């Protein structure tokens, strides 16, 4: 119990709402590493980025070929996989920056691209889990099929969560309790979008005046209720993401020598000393 109290005491400080962190190495090195090389995580993140990008392109191309591409942008699923692409893209960029130019030398002050990645990461992981859970438990049972290909349907609503789970479990940066406001604000943004969509006379690909039948603003009471319940589920899934993070760190601390994070000022790759001369 003392460990839980200590965790909440630390996490519930106002400064934890911010985006500063004492150890920038945790954004481009994995908890599972035994060295300071940025290469392993760079390669993995690049694969995750290309996989996510491939899913988005495949889905978009099918919508274009079917002549209904304008409807692609209204679904939360497509918002989610787009955020997956941007998140894994920033993750790759963070690792690439360290790989090509050496470690970030600032302390307690993250550069803008790390902060941006952290925000996207906080949103993308619980959102991916929400989309997968919501689709296969509610929409799929109701016969809703957003994608035009069943295989792609599985990729968009299943591989999206696998990608984010891999990103979470191979990273080292924390998932802060008070950063919960970030995915919640994103969810509120989409919820507001569905209302504006309805008021503007928008229709889905079947000419229904809503994006999802469970968010039909002709029945505002039910829609608000569904929105609140979905928001609660998102909060639970954010806590699950925190659980994944804490479990990852606890296991890694027992199995991996933590010296990988020592002496951040030491470059990941030693430059060649061109001043030395042969004897």
In this prediction, residue 135 carries a pLDDT of 83
In this prediction, residue 80 carries a pLDDT of 95
pTM above 0.75, yes or no: yes
Is 1 contained in some domain? no
Quote the number of domains for the chain: 1
In this prediction, residue 5 carries a pLDDT of 82
Is 239 contained in some domain? yes
Is 274 contained in some domain? no
Sequence-ordered alpha helix ranges (H) in the chain: 2-11, 39-65, 76-101, 112-134, 150-154, 160-170, 181-199, 220-255
In this prediction, residue 186 carries a pLDDT of 97
Is 15 contained in some domain? no
At 19 the three-state DSSP class reads: coil
Residues 6+ apart with CB under 8 A from 116: 90
Q: How far is it, in rounded angstroms, from Cα 226 to Cα 57?
A: 30
First-to-last C-alpha distance (Å) of the chain: 64
**Average pLDDT by consecutive 10-residue portion of the chain (279 residues)?**
79 90 91 88 97 95 91 94 97 93 73 95 97 81 67 88 97 95 97 96 92 92 94 97 96 75 44 39
Is 34 contained in some domain? yes
Q: Which residue range is the domain that position 240 belongs to?
A: 21-261
Contact 179, 21 (CB under 8 A): no
How many alpha carbons lie under 13 Å from residue 171 in its C-beta half-sphere? Answer: 31
Q: How far is it, in rounded angstroms, from Cα 83 to Cα 181?
A: 17
Contact 93, 45 (CB under 8 A): no
């Amino acid at each position: 119990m003392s460990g839980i109290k200590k965790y909440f005491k630390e996490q519930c400080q106002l400064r934890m709402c911010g985006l500063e962190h004492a150890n920038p190495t945790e954004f481009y090195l994995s908890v599972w590493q035994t060295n300071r090389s940025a290469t392993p995580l760079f390669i993995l993140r690049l694969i995750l980025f290309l996989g996510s990008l491939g899913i988005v392109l495949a889905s978009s191309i099918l919508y274009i070929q079917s002549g209904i591409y304008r409807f692609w942008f209204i679904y939360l699923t497509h918002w989610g996989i787009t955020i997956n692409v941007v998140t894994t893209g920033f993750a790759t960029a963070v690792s690439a920056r360290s790989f090509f130019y050496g470690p970030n030398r600032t302390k307690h002050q993250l550069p803008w691209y790390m902060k941006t990645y952290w925000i996207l990461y906080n949103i993308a992981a619980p959102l991916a889990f929400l989309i997968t859970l919501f689709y296969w438990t509610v929409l799929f049972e109701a016969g809703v099929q957003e994608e035009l290909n069943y295989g792609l349907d599985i990729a968009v609503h299943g591989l999206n969560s696998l990608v984010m789970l891999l990103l979470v479990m191979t990273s080292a940066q924390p998932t802060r309790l008070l950063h919960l406001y970030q995915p919640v604000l994103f969810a509120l943004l989409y919820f507001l979008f569905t209302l504006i969509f309805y008021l503007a006379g928008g229709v889905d690909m079947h000419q229904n005046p809503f994006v999802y039948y469970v968010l039909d603003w002709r029945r505002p009471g039910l829609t608000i209720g569904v929105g609140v319940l979905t928001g609660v589920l998102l909060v639970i899934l954010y806590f699950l993401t925190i659980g994944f993070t804490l479990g990852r760190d606890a296991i890694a601390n027992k199995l991996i020598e933590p010296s990988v994070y020592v002496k951040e000022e030491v470059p990941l790759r030693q430059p060649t000393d061109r001043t030395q001369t042969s004897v």
